[in-house]
């Protein structure tokens, strides 16, 4: 069995943002040489997500509005997280959007469904954060 591990680094200039990281995952898959297997893609930070959905800007706006309703950033005083920390909402947004995805690899390609794309979701940005890509297979 082959295995391949690589990290992707991001520095989202705003507090929140969604990045389509499918091309980077495809590049890592090509470098791995794996034809049949699985790829795990996970955020390595507790205020960021990796998820799969549509690359459609209206939907991403809708996510932003929905997440702000579920866990508003302001007022920070509504949260007890670590006293002075201002990112309790980011932890909650991360929880609902998920930590990781697993995608099948078939004939050397990501075996995604129609319109499926892999995203990095940032909820407490303006600093360097990373995503782990781990590939196993033959
Ligand atoms: Zn925190």
Beta bridge partners of 41: 101, 133
**C-alpha 89 – ligand 1 centre gap (Å):** 9
Counting as low any pLDDT under 70, the low residues of the chain are none
| CA proximity to 8, closest of 134, 135, 133, 136 | 133
**C-alpha 70 – ligand 1 centre gap (Å):** 17
Determine the pLDDT at residue 38: 98
**C-alpha 120 – ligand 1 centre gap (Å):** 18
| Tokens 């781990």 -> residue | 134
- Number of separate domains in the chain: 1
Determine the pLDDT at residue 82: 81
Q: How far apart are CA 31 and CA 33, in angstroms?
A: 6
pLDDT digits (tens, 9 = 90+) for 34-45: 999 999 999 999
Q: Which residues span the domain enclosing 125?
A: 2-137
CATH number of the domain that residue 12 is part of: 2.60.120.460
**C-alpha 77 – ligand 1 centre gap (Å):** 14
pLDDT digits (tens, 9 = 90+) for 67-94: 999 999 999 999 999 877 899 999 999 9
Q: Helix %, strand %, coil % for the chain, to 5?
A: 30, 35, 35
Q: How far apart are CA 3 and CA 34, in angstroms?
A: 8
Radius of gyration of the chain (CA): 16
């Amino acid at each position: 069995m082959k295995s391949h591990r690589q990290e992707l680094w991001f520095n989202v200039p705003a507090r929140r943002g969604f990045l389509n990281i499918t091309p980077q995952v495809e590049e890592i898959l090509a470098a791995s040489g794996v034809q049949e297997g699985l790829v795990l893609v996970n955020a390595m930070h507790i205020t960021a997500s990796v998820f799969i959905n549509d690359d459609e800007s209206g939907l991403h706006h809708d996510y932003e509005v929905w997440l702000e309703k579920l866990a508003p950033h302001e007022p920070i005083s509504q949260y007890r997280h670590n006293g002075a920390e201002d990112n309790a909402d980011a932890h909650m947004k991360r929880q609902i959007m998920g930590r990781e995805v697993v995608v099948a690899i078939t004939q050397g390609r990501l075996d995604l469904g129609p319109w499926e794309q892999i995203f990095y979701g940032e909820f407490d940005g303006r600093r360097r954060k990373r995503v782990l890509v781990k590939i196993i297979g033959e």
